Amino acid sequence: MALPRADVLQVSFHAEAGIVKICVLASSSSGNATFIGTGETRILVDAGLSRKELFKRLGAIGEDPGQIDAIVVTHEHSDHVCGLARVAKALGVPVYMTRLTAPCIDWEQHEPKLETFQAGSRFHIGDIEIESFTVPHDAADPVGFCFQAAGVKVGLVTDLGYIPDSIKFHLRGSDVVILESNHDVEMLKVGPYPWFVKQRVMGRKGHLSNDAVADFICMDLDATTGTLVLGHLSEHNNYPDLVHLVATQALRRRSLNSRLVIAAPGAASEVLQF
Determine the Cα angle at 113 with ends 84 and 130, to 5°: 75
pLDDT confidence band for 11 (50 / 70 / 90): very low
Q: Is residue 24 part of a domain?
A: yes
Helix 240-254 vs helix 210-219: crossing angle, to nearest 10: 20
User: pLDDT tens digits for 131-190?
Assistant: 999 999 999 999 999 999 999 999 999 999 999 999 999 999 999 999 999 999 999 999
Q: Is residue 101 part of a domain?
A: yes
Indicate the number of domains in the chain. Answer: 1
Confidence (pTM): 0.92
Alpha-carbon distance of 33 to 71, in angstroms, equals 10
Q: Is residue 122 part of a domain?
A: yes
User: pLDDT tens digits for 12-67?
Assistant: 333 333 489 999 999 998 999 999 999 999 999 999 999 999 999 999 999 999 99
Domain containing residue 86: 8-273
| DSSP SS3 for 10 | strand
CATH number at residue 103: 3.60.15.10
The pLDDT value recorded for residue 12 is 35
Largest CA distance in the chain: 53
Q: What is the CA radius of gyration of the chain?
A: 17
Nearest residue to 92 via CA among 75, 76, 69: 69
